[in-house]
A and B are shown apart, each in its own frame.
Chain A
Amino acid sequence: MESIPFYFLAALAVLAALGVVVMRDPVYSALALAVVLTALAGLYVLLSAPFLAAAQVMIYAGAILILFVFVIMLLSPGREGDAPRGALKWQRPLAVIFGGALVAQLALVLLMTILPTGRGLYTPEYLAQIGSTQAVGAALFTDYLLPFEITSLLLLVAMVGVIVLAKKKS
């Protein structure tokens, strides 16, 4: 039952990811990225993490990407001036070759190793029973309380930093 939606979403994600990289217009890239993010949210549902799927759509597609689109519109950078110049001309073909090599390498490693199977508490059935929101929340406020608090500090620092950067010098 899982394989049809998986292959559909996986193909969608890969095609849209290629779109992000090759589109000339930044707005189209952003839209392709939105498709990738939504497809990944679908995959999270398949992996019995519906809470993360909703968070992914809400935070990534709904807030972060909108910020991208906002900045693209603000700057209207247009389609020109996206070619590497001078000494960096050889970077493009090389990057594609190394990207292919990276995929091949990772595939090789994956084929050669047998990944361990856990026997933990959080089986998909258990997650469906208590709800993934509750499971993540409980872990977040017990075992991961310190990282969680540090994240809030990080967000505050980022906010202050952005205000300093964006403020007009008077």
Chain B
Amino acid sequence: MTLDPIVITLIEAVVKTIVVIVALLTAFAYLTLVERYVIAKIQSRIGPNRVGAIGGIALLQPIADAIKMIFKEDFWPSQADKIIYTIAPGIAVGTALLAWAVMPLHPSTEIFGYRVDFFIADVNIGVLYLLAIGSLGVYGIVLGGWGSNNKYSMLGALRSTAQMISYEVSLGLALVGVLMISGSLSLVTIVEKQSFIWNVVWQPLGFIIYFIAAVAEVNRLPFDLPEAETELVAGYQTEYSSLKFALFYMAEYINMITVSAIAATMFLGGYQGPFGILPGVHWLVLKIMFFIFVMMWMRGTLPRFRYDQLMRFGWQVLLPLALANIFITALVMLVVGA
């Protein structure tokens, strides 16, 4: 039996999409446990060690959390904008998942004489696509804050809009250096070009700027002003409970995975091993885990910025540095002759 090539492509895309989504959702569930455990260790506490514990770590805790979340009361603020209040968490999760459509996960290999590419799509505007999808992520937060009709939510939403727009500029500009070296916007090409030397060697400044801006973009400490619990209760998600809250939570963790994956792909060679050793998806996972651990470590260690400090840092330090990085990269490429 022979199948139409279009049908095969379609089936392949659907299978890959499902696999990626399931993997992300599982990773999200266990990241919540890892985060609680890591933070507990940093703060000299014990951490979750009851539900299905093996070796002192509660391995079934995510499932217990999920069940608890589902059976909580789904609360509706009386004056909330019903439609916007409902779609906001969906937008947040949707935009968080969409970025994975262009992420290269593993080198292309032959399986049973059939060539399999381990990415959903290789578009020649890959990096632009990532930035575009990333810039849409603000909508979920803004609409959630607006739809709840709560002053704390509203303030959190306004803050996060200003913060994410400000740091998005530095985030995008930090990637430009990599694009100049690689001469391509396709993530697959960018990863292939790093088979021996990773981009971070040529772009250390860009890498640092990207990581700082990325932490701000996913609203993690020390940039978690939108949900600063000591002043805004929980920011834009104050009124959310039950499954809608879980969706916001999920979006936040998937965004963490996504920005880590982008950092790994753009600067640390994605699925490429150091000096070309055994390229494969395990390297990508390791690098993502490393970045996520650093983010948790920062959460356990650093205090929160004040809002004016945050804005000043973004516009007066990060942005000029990102521009200087582009300028220096261009200058060096001109002198060396690329």
Instruction: Check if A and B associate.
Output: yes
Known A27-B84, A63-B165: A54·B129 in contact at CB below 8 Å: yes
Select the stretch in B13-21, B133-141, B277-285 that faces chain A: B133-141
Residues of A within 8 A of B191 (CB): none
Contact with A along B99-130 (1 / 0, CB 8 A): 00000000000000000000000011100110
B128–A66 CB distance below 8 A:
no
Contact with B along A125-166 (1 / 0, CB 8 A): 000000111000000000000000000000000000000000
B157–A73 CB distance below 8 A:
yes
Interface residues of A in 53-86 (CB under 8 A from B): 53-55, 57-58, 61-63, 66-67, 69-70, 73-74
> At the interface, yes or no: A50 with Cβ under 8 Å from chain B?
yes
Interface size bucket, A side? 20 to 34
A58–B162 CB distance below 8 A:
no
Residues of A within 8 A of B162 (CB): 70
Question: Which label, helix, strand, loop or mixed, suits the secondary structure of the A interface?
Answer: helix
A66–B161 CB distance below 8 A:
yes
A61–B135 CB distance below 8 A:
yes
Interface size bucket, B side? 20 to 34
B132–A54 CB distance below 8 A:
yes
Residues of A within 8 A of B142 (CB): 66, 69-70, 73
B185–A133 CB distance below 8 A:
yes
Which residue from chain A places its CB closest to the CB of B179 in the assembled complex?
A133
B136–A62 CB distance below 8 A:
yes
A73–B146 CB distance below 8 A:
yes
> At the interface, yes or no: A51 with Cβ under 8 Å from chain B?
yes
> At the interface, yes or no: B39 with Cβ under 8 Å from chain A?
no
Residues of B within 8 A of A58 (CB): 128, 131-132, 135
19 A–B contacts from the bound complex (CB under 8 Å): A50-B123, A50-B125, A51-B125, A51-B128, A54-B128, A61-B132, A61-B136, A62-B132, A63-B165, A63-B168, A69-B146, A70-B142, A70-B158, A70-B161, A70-B162, A73-B142, A73-B146, A73-B158, A132-B125
Q: Apart from A31-B143, A66-B135, what are 13 other A-B pairs with CB-CB below 8 Å?
A: A27-B81, A27-B146, A31-B84, A53-B125, A54-B129, A61-B132, A62-B135, A63-B165, A66-B139, A70-B161, A73-B146, A74-B158, A133-B128
Taking Cβ atoms with an 8 Å cutoff, the residues of B that contact A are 81, 84, 123-125, 128-129, 131-136, 138-139, 142-143, 145-146, 154, 157-158, 161-162, 165, 168, 185
